[in-house]
């Protein structure tokens, strides 16, 4: 608690340290830690600390237009130098996006979620 970030006021730092030391915060922190350990494939993102918004801006500049969902998703969920997605979950999302593109012609309204397309993309219901 003695050495906070140089850019943060000392009273803010102390307040933050006290809040992070409370029982409810510690319980939530431990639950999140257990979830990350139990499901490591759900926490894979190839962009480090770079936000989606920053990636979107960079991609817009490179493409000279707004990137599609798939282009942005590929940028943030594919291993660098390969064409492999970082997890099975990422692959399922891309399969769903492709299925939706097949079902709904560009320019026609499409639902936020199409359960049948989702089942087609992920291979049906699973336990767990």
First to last CA, the chain: 41
Question: What confidence score (pLDDT) does residue 128 get?
Answer: 53
- Please give the pLDDT value at position 15: 94
Task: Show the beta-strand stretches assigned E in the chain.
Answer: none
pTM greater than 0.75 = no
107: which DSSP letter? T
CA–CA gap between residue 120 and residue 42 (Å, rounded): 21
> CA 34 to CA 28: how far, in whole Å?
10
What pLDDT is recorded for position 79? 80
pLDDT for position 23? 96
Given this model, what pLDDT does residue 109 score? 80
Question: Which H/E stretch holds residue 85?
Answer: none
Residue-by-residue pLDDT tens, the chain, 128 positions: 678 889 999 999 999 999 999 999 999 999 988 877 776 666 566 677 788 788 889 999 999 998 887 788 888 888 877 888 887 778 888 888 888 888 887 777 877 777 887 777 777 666 55
Rounded CA separation 45/19 (Å): 28
């Amino acid at each position: 608690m003695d050495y906070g970030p140089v850019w943060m006021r000392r009273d803010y730092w102390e307040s933050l340290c006290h809040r992070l030391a409370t029982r409810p915060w510690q319980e939530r922190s431990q639950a999140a830690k257990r979830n990350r350990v139990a499901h490591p494939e759900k926490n894979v993102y190839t962009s480090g600390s770079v936000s989606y918004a920053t990636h979107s801006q960079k991609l817009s500049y490179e493409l000279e237009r707004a990137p599609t969902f798939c282009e942005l998703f590929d940028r943030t969920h594919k291993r660098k130098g390969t064409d492999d997605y970082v997890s099975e979950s990422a692959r399922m999302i891309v399969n769903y996006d492709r299925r939706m593109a097949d079902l709904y012609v560009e320019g026609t309204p499409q639902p936020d979620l199409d359960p049948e397309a989702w089942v087609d993309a992920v291979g049906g219901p699973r336990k767990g």
